[in-house]
Amino acid sequence: MHSPMPSLRPCPKRASDDIVRTAVRMGTFVTIHVVGAVGHKSQAESPMLREQAVERAFAWFDRVEECCTRFDSASEVMRLAAQAGVPVPVSTLLYEAVQFALAVAEESGGAFDPTVGYAMETRGFNREYRSGREIRTALDCGRPGSYRDVRLDPERKTITLLRPLVIDLGAVAKGLAVDLAARELSPFENFAINAGGDLYLGGRNPDSEPWSIGILHPRSDTELIEAVRVSNRAVCTSGDYEKRSADGGHILDPRTGASAHGVASVTVVAPTAMLADALATAAFVLGPADGIRLFDRLGVDGLIFSIAGSIPGSTPDSSTDTDGVTPDSPALTRYATQAMHEYL
Amino acid sequence: MRSDDYFDERAGAGQRISKSLVTLSSTAIVAIYAAGYYRTSAAAHKFDSQTEQRRTVAEVTPAPPPTPENPPAPAEPLGSSSSPAPVVKKNVRKPAAANRKSGSASTESGESPATASGTGANAAAKAAASAQTSYKDGVFLGWGSCRHGDIEASVQIQDGKIVTAAITQCLTRYSCSWISPRVPSPVLPDLPREVVERQSAKVDYVSGATESSYAFADAITAALSKASE
């Protein structure tokens, strides 16, 4: 399963009538691939219909980004930040995204917390990627808030911030956009959406097999550390190699305000990308053993690679099906959920 | 099945949520998709009206319910309703494109009148139509950076469309050879295929993004933002 990739060449599998489109969305490359009708009699739709569906799928990324971005003070989520103390009617999109983020926070005991936005901002994650200008939110925070300072009213669809907070939907929004795009493409059955390494794989690949997804090696941009085969599943990987600040990884432990250490990468296989993305973030903070336990409890699957010896009191434990040190990466320890082998 | 009661009493609610987290994510997708663009827009305008005293900007009138004879203008980004100068950039091709798409997209019922013709599908299509043809012709440069260094990309726009995209400068500690083909790619969609997906014969796609791909995406985005100024 360890697949060094000496050459980076285009995939040979695409049929001639596949549609593959890539565009820059949400600060990364988004590729949408709809498998053509050849060999798939259920996909008799015209190419034009497929093209239009792909356009609509991309539009969901725009819609989610303009609602959820921290980097635009006019975005709906940032305007919410300016109105602490009052119930604010919000769009269905923002309401559902926040509701889901709070549920994950509750479930993970605060290891995932969407209210770490302000901490992110103060630690240097404040550059808007389009313009390069810095953002600064004027908040009189006093004690740091937490997800418990957010109230939802399910009847009136309002959100109330009990104290000034910046809600960071970064770990939810991209997955949400992937899921909405996937729903847009669901009539076509066989498709792939790749948003900067966060994926949803519908149906089967052009060879009529489950999609094969390589997992990037956390210590090498040109190697895979593992590969999974999935169908109708999201695969999201969160790595400590992604955007970093000067003083640590980009994923913060909301309970301490510090960067989480010890985990090199987390991959989650789940029914939705939103869930996979959020749980990958939570597992980063929880560490490998607790992360795997969380996945098992929630019925999702995952792989965690940790930096061996870096986590005090968190040695691989037999109940989590650890494979021990992998031959190709002696510095990394691999953890997996019980049912993960079904995808390997 | 969503349990609403945990909103009132958060303490100890974890156990009740735990079984439904997978379900909750799925129902959220369904709810947002069903609401589509116009319903979310409407809520945002309500939001705007609450906050307009804080700003001195002109309010954008919510779009009237679209009719077949009077297709709605391309959906403007939600954020524009609160920007200092909500300029509606119109391209003559957009309304036609939006009209064609709304005709082909299925219309779902069950929503309020304002949303009956604004399903996520066709409304999103209009947003796509407005998002795709707003570039000025020319060659535009942008920078992106990661901790390994900086990458400059150029984007060439012709007739409002991206025709080429390439890395023009690579000031990273490592070679950009794997990120950039020697010959500039004919169109943007082909170039990052090698960057992000990095296909091999063994896998269809790769999960996990590299810093360099972020830097290149940032550079492309910066270049495109100049093209749409």
Does some domain include residue B81? yes
Does some domain include residue B155? yes
Residue B113 sits in the same domain as residue B143: no
- Write down the pLDDT at residue A63: 93
Residue B118 sits in the same domain as residue B198: no
Average pLDDT, chain B: 54
Does some domain include residue B106? yes
Buried b (16+ CB within 10 A) or exposed e, B11-48: eebeeebbebbbebbbbbbeebbbbbbbbbbbbbbebb
Residue B65 sits in the same domain as residue B118: yes
CA A192, A112, A267, A263 torsion-angle sign: positive
Does some domain include residue B116? yes
A236 three-class SS = strand
What's the CA gap between A264 and B140, in Å, rounded?
Answer: 37
Does some domain include residue B91? yes
Residue B126 sits in the same domain as residue B39: yes
- Write down the pLDDT at residue A29: 80
Q: Which residue of B has its CA nearest to A280?
A: B208
Does some domain include residue B39? yes
Would you call B58 an interface residue with chain A, using a CB distance cutoff of 8 Å? no
Does some domain include residue B110? yes
- Write down the pLDDT at residue B109: 34
Residue B214 sits in the same domain as residue B180: yes
Any residues with CB less than 8 A from the CB of A97 and at least 6 apart, and which?
Answer: A64, A67, A68, A169, A172, A173, A176, B28, B32
What's the CA gap between B78 and B100, in Å, rounded?
Answer: 23
- Of all residues in chain B, the percent with pLDDT exceeding 90 is 5
- Write down the pLDDT at residue A177: 97
- Write down the pLDDT at residue A336: 95
Rounded to a whole number, what is the distance in Å from the CA of B107 to chain A's nearest CA?
13
Would you call B82 an interface residue with chain A, using a CB distance cutoff of 8 Å? yes
Residue B105 sits in the same domain as residue B194: no
Using alpha carbons only, how large is chain B's radius of gyration in Å? 22
Q: What is the pLDDT of residues A123-153, one digit of tens each?
A: 444 444 444 445 555 444 456 788 999 999 9
Q: Which domains does chain A have, with CATH numbers?
A: 71-168 (1.10.3980.10), 210-344 (3.10.520.10)
Across the range A80-105, mean pLDDT stands at: 94
For residues B167 and B174, is the Cβ–Cβ distance under 8 A?
no
Specify the DSSP element, H or E, that contains A159: strand A158-161
Residue B114 sits in the same domain as residue B156: no
Structure-block tokens of residue B89 = 């950039």
Would you call A129 an interface residue with chain B, using a CB distance cutoff of 8 Å? yes
Residue B160 sits in the same domain as residue B219: yes
Across the range A216-240, mean pLDDT stands at: 87
| Domain housing B211 | 138-227
Closest CA to A81 of A100, A64, A63, A68: A68
Choose between B161 and A72: higher pLDDT. A72
Residue B86 sits in the same domain as residue B125: yes
Would you call B97 an interface residue with chain A, using a CB distance cutoff of 8 Å? no
Does some domain include residue B29? no
Amino acid occupying residue B63: A
Choose between A247 and B92: higher pLDDT. A247
- Write down the pLDDT at residue B80: 35
Last residue of a domain, one of B96, B115, B132: B132
Across the range A229-233, mean pLDDT stands at: 97
Residue B99: which pLDDT band, with cuts at 50, 70 and 90?
very low
Choose between A117 and A141: higher pLDDT. A117
Closest CA to A67 of A160, A184, A193, A172: A172
Last residue of a domain, one of B112, B132, B152: B132
Closest CA to A13 of B197, B110, B26, B169: B197
Residue B161 sits in the same domain as residue B101: no
Last residue of a domain, one of B94, B115, B132: B132
Q: What is the pLDDT of residues A171-207, one digit of tens each?
A: 899 999 999 999 999 999 899 999 988 999 999 998 8
Comparing CB atoms, the residue among B28, B205, B212 nearest residue A192 is B205
164-193 in chain B: CB under 8 A from chain A: 178, 188-190, 192-193
Structure-block tokens of residue B69 = 């004879």
Amino acid occupying residue A231: S
Residue B62 sits in the same domain as residue B79: yes
Residue A121: which pLDDT band, with cuts at 50, 70 and 90?
very low
- Write down the pLDDT at residue B24: 93
CB contact under 8 A, A176 and B32: yes
Number of domains in chain B: 2
Select, from the ranges A38-47, A150-159, B27-36, B54-63, the one with the highest average predicted confidence (pLDDT).
A150-159
323-342 in chain A: CB under 8 A from chain B: none
CB contact under 8 A, B24 and A99: yes
Among B18, B41, B207, B225, pick the best mutation site for testing chain A contact (most A Cβ within 10 A). Answer: B207
- Write down the pLDDT at residue B66: 39
- Write down the pLDDT at residue A299: 92
CB contact under 8 A, A265 and B39: no
- Write down the pLDDT at residue B64: 40
Across the range A272-291, mean pLDDT stands at: 92
- Write down the pLDDT at residue B160: 77
Residue B108 sits in the same domain as residue B146: no
